[in-house]
């Protein structure tokens, strides 16, 4: 097992434990929504976004217990988005990470409530003093995550994605869609490190550019996997994007793969602003474009 894979597996276990502690089961009338939240949140996955939070905060020696809380908040938002994306009124998916989707397990109404509750839990975590002693840092984290998740970020990107089913998009529009839908939360992951670590302007720019290139490389790889991957490997349906423009449909498989490689190389170069503490961030882009799930 290489260095990056070992660290990512360790972070995934660490985040799973922290999420379980932040969201314990309850025994009362509202127990089912908590069960649905835990079902979605603790379903596994690579925990890529929390990994990015921990790797970016490590650049600035942010205490791990604080960084972990920011990482968990981000994972709550990401999970809520998956729960809602899978609903029949959205992507209508039956499987997620090899398991029935939340609405298949608990029903649509409970899935909607579970997603809503996970979104609000994220801001409860960030605004708590345990996340950072400085109220301005907490406020900046809340603002950054709200912007990343909202109508100018992930939600807006999902709206464009829905329009793409009936509207032709060019490469610029597809890039904008994915920078909002997928890239916004990835940018927050590294912005969290900059916020909590009081980064310099140059460091902020380097991290922002890194996240931009990494997010696009990640999405292009997702598009390639939707064409070339299998449901068994991905743990979800493939071929879901056949009726809309993607990087692969617009560029072709080979050009899309070349673009992902170029973006990965650029992302690594942005880490020249940092010392050996950025080694995991330097390794991550090539992991992202070579993954099979």
pLDDT at res. 162? 93
Six-digit token string for 7: 């660290």
What one-character-per-residue DSSP string does the chain give? --HHHHHHHHHHHHHHHHHHHHS----STTHHHHHHHHHHHTS----HHHHHHHHHHHTTT--HHHHHHHHHHHHHHHHHHHHHHTSTTTT--SEETTEE-HHHHH-HHHHHHHHHHHHHHHHHHHHSTTT-S-HHHHHHHHHHHHHHHSTTTHHHHHHHHHHTTTS---HHHHHHHHHHHTHHHHHHHHHHHHHHTT--HHHHHHHHHHHHHHHHHHHHHHHHHHHH--HHHHTS-S-TTTTS--HHHHH-HHHHHHHHHHHHHHHHHHGGGS-GGGHHHHHHHHHHHH---
% pLDDT > 90, the chain: 91
User: What confidence category does residue 163 fall into, taking pLDDT thresholds of 50, 70 and 90?
Assistant: very high
Angle at 130 between CA 127 and CA 131, to 5 degrees: 60
pLDDT at res. 64? 98
Is residue 61's pLDDT more than 70? yes
% pLDDT > 70, the chain: 95
Six-digit token string for 2: 């290489």
Mean pLDDT, residues 150-157 taken together: 98
pLDDT per position as a tens digit, 105-130: 999 999 999 999 999 999 999 999 99
Instruction: Compare 258 and 241 and report the one with higher pLDDT.
Output: 258
Six-digit token string for 46: 């690579």
The residue extents of the domains of the chain are 3-290
Beta bridge pairs of residue 95: 100
Closest CA to 39 of 104, 93, 124: 104
Judging by beta carbons within 10 Å of its beta carbon (0-12, 13-18, 19+), is residue 175 exposed, middle or buried? middle
pLDDT at res. 127? 98
User: What confidence category does residue 234 fall into, taking pLDDT thresholds of 50, 70 and 90?
Assistant: low
Considering the entire predicted model, what is its pTM? 0.94
Mean pLDDT, residues 135-159 taken together: 98
pLDDT at res. 96? 92
Is residue 229's pLDDT more than 80? no
Max distance between CA atoms of the chain, in angstroms, equals 54
Alpha-carbon distances of 65 from 54, 78, 219, 264, rounded to whole Å? 10, 20, 30, 30
Mean pLDDT, residues 198-227 taken together: 96
Mean pLDDT, residues 75-102 taken together: 95
The topology under which CATH files domain 3-290 is Farnesyl Diphosphate Synthase (1.10.600)
User: What confidence category does residue 265 fall into, taking pLDDT thresholds of 50, 70 and 90?
Assistant: very high
């Amino acid at each position: 097992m290489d260095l990056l894979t070992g660290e990512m597996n360790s972070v995934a276990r660490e985040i799973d434990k922290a999420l379980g502690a932040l969201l314990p089961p309850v025994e009362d009338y509202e127990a089912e929504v908590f069960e649905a939240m835990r079902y979605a949140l603790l379903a596994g996955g690579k925990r890529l976004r929390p990994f990015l939070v921990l790797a970016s905060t490590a650049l600035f020696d942010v205490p791990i217990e604080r960084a972990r809380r920011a990482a968990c908040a981000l994972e709550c938002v990401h999970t809520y988005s998956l729960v809602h994306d899978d609903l029949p009124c959205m992507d209508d998916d039956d499987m997620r990470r090899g398991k029935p989707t939340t609405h298949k397990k608990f029903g649509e109404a409970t899935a909607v409530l579970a997603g809503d509750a996970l979104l609000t839990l994220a801001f409860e975590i960030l605004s708590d003093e345990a996340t950072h002693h400085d109220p301005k840092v907490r406020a900046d984290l809340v603002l950054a995550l709200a912007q990343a998740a909202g109508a100018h970020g992930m939600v807006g990107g999902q709206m464009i994605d829905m329009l793409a089913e009936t509207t032709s998009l060019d490469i610029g529009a597809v890039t904008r869609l994915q920078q909002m839908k997928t890239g916004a939360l990835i940018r927050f992951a590294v912005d969290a490190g900059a916020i909590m670590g009081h980064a310099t302007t140059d460091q902020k720019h380097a991290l922002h550019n890194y996240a931009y290139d990494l997010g696009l490389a990640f999405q292009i790889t997702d598009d390639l996997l939707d064409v070339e991957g299998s449901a068994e490997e991905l743990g979800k349906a493939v071929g879901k994007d056949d009726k809309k423009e993607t990087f692969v449909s617009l560029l072709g498989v080979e050009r899309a793969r070349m673009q992902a490689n170029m973006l990965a190389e650029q992302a690594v170069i942005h880490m020249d602003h940092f010392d050996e503490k950025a080694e995991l961030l330097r390794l991550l882009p090539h992991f992202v474009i070579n993954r099979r799930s």
